[in-house]
Amino acid sequence: MLAGKRVLLIVSGGIAAYKALELVRLLRRAGAGVRCVLTAGGAQFVTALSLQALSEEKVHTALFSLTDESEMGHIELSRSADLLVVAPASADILAKMAAGIADDLASTLLLATDKPVLAAPAMNVRMWLHPATQANMASLRARGVAVVGPEEGAMACNEFGPGRLAEPPVILATIGRLLGQAGPLAGRHVLVTSGPTHEPIDPVRYLANRSSGRQGHAIAGALAACGARVTLVCGPVAIADPPGVGVRRVETATEMLVACEAALPADVAVCAAAVADWHVANAADRKLKKRPGAGPPTLDLAPNPDILATLSRPGPSRPRLVVGFAAETEDVRRNAAEKLARKGCDWIVANDVSPASGIMGGEENAVLLITAQGEEAWPRLPKQQVAERLAARIAEALGQ
Ligand code: CTP
């Protein structure tokens, strides 16, 4: 995907520097040449040796190095790549970039370059939200510096909020876009459902389930990173929107179906939402009150539309590939195979959601992929990696 392209990767200080190693690996796998520059701060977290081993190129650290300067001057180095990527970009290096300070090799290269620059900030949430950092970001953006992330979530410093380095595959996809490379799903439209649905009981109460939306959101992000135009129809979730994805927020199963049908045509549909099977037919339009002497209210449940089965129905607007999920607590293989047949979808991603598995609402997933060609049991992986594998499999299937 990036064959023949050259990236100069500047690794500045911060705990997220370890993820730069993964980024180098992904860039190399995508065919790019990578030359790394490690700042003094970055060297506190990762070694030049690791970067050198993964990039298979000399790592540069010093501005006033006689040997480095004789082999390749820093001005030449700043222009030797198609793109400069600062990942992680600390508050300090962003401030230097904004102010035009050149007091070490990395900041000098950033001032001397005539090539596009991508910054992937990573820092403590308060440092990120500080007006000084925000002002620096505004002036860098105004000067044309591209920015990816930071993402929101739990941080190494035990705080929560924006400040986490964007995931390496997301940085890779951004690099691909900046270098004008089309991903394997370019030109495709993919519809993804994610999260739970909320079925009202009255204006303040609802029926719900434990789905966090993490897996569906990660899939939407991974498909976008492969170049697809992604429409994500999601129920109420407490996680950030995946980058580069069009999001339609809904609450109930019926609203989810309407939003999905409105998003058609699509080449692929991935139904990862944990849709409630029933809604409350006698939902009250005022808050239910306890009445002395009266017993608890009775809820009349009525079936919800099955979105996956509806999208799988043969017809001109049926996506070419429809992927369902099977959340099971027992007999995963048999129930999932039966679900594939009953819903009429093409693939089923089955997973064990029994409380002991820790999958529902957790960070990892262990899936069994059932396709017309047979079954594949994937190892237990972070949900992000499950998403990337699934996106890659979808790209492969559409390419056939
Ligand atoms: N699904 C859907 N609409 C529904 C129910 C489920 O689109 N009303 C989709 C889910 O997004 C998932 C698949 O169907 O892709 C299977 O969901 P799951 O909850 O495992 O199965 P159910 O159909 O609810 O069957 P059961 O409750 O019997 O396990």
Assess whether pLDDT exceeds 70 at residue 353: yes
pTM above 0.75, yes or no: no
pLDDT over 70 percentage in the chain: 98
Please give the number of the atom of ligand 1 that sits closest to the Cα of 304: 8
Average pLDDT value for residue range 69-94: 87
Please spell the DSSP secondary structure of 137-171, one letter per residue: HHHHHHTT-EE--PEEEE-TTS-EEEEEPPPHHHH
Q: What is the 3 state secondary structure string of 265-324? A: CCCEEEECCECCCEEECCCCCCCCCCCCCCCCCCCCEEECCCHHHHHHCCCCCCCCEEEE
Per-residue pLDDT tens digits for 42-67: 999 999 999 999 999 999 998 777 66
CATH architecture of 189-399: 3-Layer(aba) Sandwich (3.40)
Q: What pLDDT band is residue 69 in, cutting at 50, 70 and 90?
A: low
Q: What pLDDT band is residue 326 in, cutting at 50, 70 and 90?
A: very high
How far apart are the C-alpha atoms of 171 and 347, rounded to whole Å? 29
pLDDT at residue 358 in the model:
78
| Ligand 1 centroid from CA 370, angstroms | 16
Assess whether pLDDT exceeds 70 at residue 349: yes
How far apart are the C-alpha atoms of 142 and 158, rounded to whole Å? 32
Structural tokens at position 130: 């500080």
Per-residue pLDDT tens digits for 295-312: 899 999 999 999 999 999
| Beta carbon of 145 within 6 Å of any ligand 1 atom | no
DSSP 8-state assignment for residue 355: G
Average pLDDT value for residue range 320-345: 94
pLDDT at residue 178 in the model:
86
| Ligand 1 centroid from CA 281, angstroms | 19
| Beta carbon of 194 within 6 Å of any ligand 1 atom | no
| Beta carbon of 327 within 6 Å of any ligand 1 atom | yes
In the chain, where are the structural domains located? 6-178, 189-399
Residue whose CA lies nearest to ligand 1 atom number 21: 326
Per-residue pLDDT tens digits for 89-132: 999 999 999 999 999 999 999 999 999 999 999 999 999 999 99
> Which of 268, 271, 304, 333 should be mutated for ligand 1, with most atoms under 8 A from CB?
271
Q: What pLDDT band is residue 230 in, cutting at 50, 70 and 90?
A: very high
Fold of 6-178: Rossmann fold (3.40.50)
Do strands 205-207 and 229-234 pair parallel, antiparallel, or not at all (unpaired)?
unpaired
Residue whose CA lies nearest to ligand 1 atom number 8: 306
Per-residue pLDDT tens digits for 173-227: 889 878 876 788 989 999 999 999 999 999 999 999 999 999 999 999 999 988 8
pLDDT at residue 153 in the model:
72
Residue 316 CB neighbours (<10 A): 6
**One fold for both 6-178 and 189-399?**
yes
